[in-house]
Amino acid sequence: MEEASPWLLFAFSVLVIIALGLFAILSTRRLERIPTTRRQGLVELIVESLRNFAVGIIGPKGEKYTPFIGTLFIYILAMNLLGLVPGFKAPTSGLSITVSLAVVVFIVYNAAGILETGFIPYLKHLAGEPLWLAPLMLPIHLIGGLARPLSLSIRLFGNIFGEETILVILAGMTYVIIPYVVAIPTQFPIVLFDVFIAFVQALVFSMLSAIYISVAVAGHEAH
C-alpha cells in the first residue's frame, strides 16, 4: 500500500476542519448559563476535560494554551478516525500532514517560551553556558528542539499508515464464501482496535506537545 497523494490528504484534512468548524458552530448556539441540554453538557465536559489535561501538564499557565492543545487533540483524533470511513483516507497516514503538525508545534512552543521568559533570556537558554560555546550549542538546541516534534510526526504517521495497511489487507479478505453464502467481515475486529489506536495517538501527540510547551515556558529552570 503506497502513501496517498499529499494533495488528496490535504483535501481530507480541510474536510475535517470544515466538519469540526460546523460542529463547533452548531454545538455552541443558544448556550445557557446552566446547561439543560445533553448537547451543551457534552461540549462543556469536553472543554473542561481538555482544560484539566493542559493545566495538569503545563501548570497554572496551561489554561491559556488549552485552545491549542485541545484543538490539536480533536483535530488529530478526527483525522485518524476519518481513515476508518470507507472511501476516505486518514490525513495523518501521510508525512506531509504529520510533519506540518510538527512544525506548528515547534513554532508554538518556542513562541510560548519567548513570550513567557522574554526573547533574550530564552535565547541565552538556547545558547547554553558558557556563552563562548553559543555558536555550537545554539544550532544543536534548535535542531534538537525540532527533532522532538518531528519524531512525534513520524510515530503518528507510522502507526496510522500501518493500521490502514492492515485494514486494507483484511478488507480484501472480507468476503469469504462458505459455501458461497456467508460473508465474513474479517476486518471488523481490527476496526475496533483502530479506534483505540486513533485515540491513543492523538493523546500522545497532544500530551508531548504540552510537555514541550511546559519546558519552554518554565525557561532554564525546567532543565
Domain for residue 71, yes or no?
A: yes
pLDDT (0 to 100) of residue 19: 94
pLDDT bin (cut points 50, 70, 90) of residue 76 is: very high
In a domain, 13, yes or no: yes
Residue 187 amino acid letter: Q
Are 83 and 94 a contacting pair, CB within 8 Å? no
> Is residue 55, in this structure, part of any structural domain at all?
yes
Q: pTM for this one?
A: 0.83
Do the domain assignments include residue 41? yes
Question: How many C-alpha atoms does 58 have within 13 Å on its Cβ side?
Answer: 29
Residue 87 inside a domain? The answer is yes
User: Which ranges of 92-187 does DSSP label H, i.e. alpha helix?
Assistant: 95-117, 119-127, 134-172
Mean pLDDT of 70-97: 90
User: Which among 208, 220, 216, 211 has a CA at the least distance from the CA of 114?
Assistant: 216
| Any domain includes 100 | yes
Residue 173, C-alpha cell as written in the block: 479478505
In a domain, 1, yes or no: no
Task: Choose between 33 and 208: higher pLDDT.
Answer: 208
Region of poorest pLDDT, from 66-70, 118-122, 155-159:
118-122
Range of the domain at 167: 6-222
Number of independent structural domains in the chain: 1
**pLDDT tens readout for residues 24-70:** 888 777 777 777 677 778 888 888 999 999 999 988 888 889 999 99
Whether cis (ω within 30° of 0) applies to the bond prior to 130 is yes
Instruction: Give the whole-angstrom CA distance, residue 152 versus residue 109.
Output: 14
Which pLDDT score is estimated for 34? 72
